[in-house]
């Protein structure tokens, strides 16, 4: 058995496609009309309840029980791009996690949580460039020393 990808229920493939391609720089790898797969390996499905023969009211909005996680090497540039999307609802504003990664969580047009975080490689490089040792950096970012060494 092989896991393929998560599939998100959406009201409009067109709206989702514009959002994910525009804000998150995804490209479409497969377009089946009401089912579109993006370059990072997730799919959006219009008419999800109908396809699965479920009652439409059983497809929940903002269920808060999962998120899609994205990383960027240029978090500040992403935040500038995000500011251009006036209709985006935030789960929370940008913040720094205990492991020193800057993140923001937003809702997509259908209420799915998206986390966009600074890549951990970028986080490690930032602390190394500030003069912290590999061991100090590993402790601060809560990653193995071997990971931080590969980031140098």
Q: Residue 126: what are its φ and ψ, rounded to 5°?
A: -60, -45
Residue appearing with tokens 């990971």? 147
**Long-range contacts of the stretch 102-111 (C-beta < 8 A, 24+):** 102/75, 104/79, 105/67, 106/82, 107/62, 108/8, 108/16, 108/19, 108/20, 109/10, 109/11, 109/12, 109/15, 109/16, 109/19, 110/8, 110/9, 110/10, 110/11, 110/16, 110/61, 111/61, 111/62, 111/63
pTM of the model: 0.92
pLDDT digits (tens, 9 = 90+) for 27-80: 999 999 999 999 999 999 999 988 889 998 888 888 899 999 999 999 999 999
């Amino acid at each position: 058995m092989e896991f393929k990808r998560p599939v998100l229920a959406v009201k409009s493939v067109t709206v989702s496609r514009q959002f994910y391609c525009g804000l998150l720089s995804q490209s479409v790898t497969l377009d089946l009309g009401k089912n579109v797969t993006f370059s990072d390996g997730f799919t959006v499905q219009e008419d999800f309840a109908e396809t699965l023969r479920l009652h439409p009211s059983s497809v929940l909005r903002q269920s808060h029980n999962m998120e899609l996680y994205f990383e960027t090497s240029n978090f500040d540039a992403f935040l500038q791009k995000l500011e251009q999307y006036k209709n985006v609802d935030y789960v929370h504003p940008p913040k720094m996690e205990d492991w020193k990664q800057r993140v923001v969580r937003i809702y997509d047009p259908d209420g799915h949580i998206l986390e966009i975080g600074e890549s951990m490689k970028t986080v490690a490089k930032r602390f190394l460039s500030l003069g912290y040792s590999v061991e100090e950096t590993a402790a601060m970012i809560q990653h193995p020393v071997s990971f931080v060494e590969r980031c140098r």
